[in-house]
């Protein structure tokens, strides 16, 4: 055999569909900067899912956590995410992008403050 090619993980399409369907729901209720943030988060998450489809289980797991955080996190009683929870999802997505070495996928690069300590485990970052 010249080379064995891994197949794309079945969870990849599921994760992208979750991101897309959540973004569709957000488009119905968000406008302006909040919608732009949701769009950037979705774009970054889709690319993280694609680029880790053939990566280690640990890397795929980090991306799966970020997708679920974006899709399932609720801080308000309404159907849609509040702005605060979108910014919390932004922190999680940015942390995963940094840990995977994909600085090009940071949702928003902040030059005015130092990058968070990347040595901290992702599960502790989610508790913030």
* pLDDT tens digit sequence for 90-121: 999 999 999 999 999 998 754 334 444 444 45
Q: How far is CA 11 from the centre of its chain?
A: 15
Task: Sketch the domain layout of the chain as residue ranges.
Answer: 11-126
Regarding pTM above 0.75, the answer is: no
Neighbours of 11 (CB within 10 A): 15
Please list, in sequence order, all residues whose beta carbon lies within 8 angstroms of the beta carbon of residue 40, skipping any fewer than 6 positions away. 90, 107, 108
Report the mean per-residue pLDDT for the chain.
78
* pLDDT tens digit sequence for 36-81: 999 999 999 999 999 999 999 999 999 999 999 999 865 455 555 4
Nearest to 105 by CA among 115, 87, 90, 83: 90
């Amino acid at each position: 055999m010249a080379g064995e090619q891994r197949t794309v993980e079945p969870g990849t399409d599921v994760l992208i569909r979750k991101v897309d369907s959540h973004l569709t729901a957000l488009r119905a209720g968000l406008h302006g900067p909040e919608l732009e943030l949701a769009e950037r988060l979705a774009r970054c998450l889709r690319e993280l899912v694609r680029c880790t489809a053939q990566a280690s289980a640990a890397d795929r797991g980090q991306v799966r956590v970020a997708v679920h955080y974006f899709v399932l996190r609720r801080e308000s009683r309404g159907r849609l995410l509040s702005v605060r929870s979108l910014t919390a999802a932004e922190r999680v997505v940015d942390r995963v992008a940094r840990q995977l070495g994909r600085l090009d996928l940071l949702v928003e690069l902040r030059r005015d403050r130092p990058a968070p300590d990347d040595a901290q485990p992702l599960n502790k970052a989610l508790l913030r």
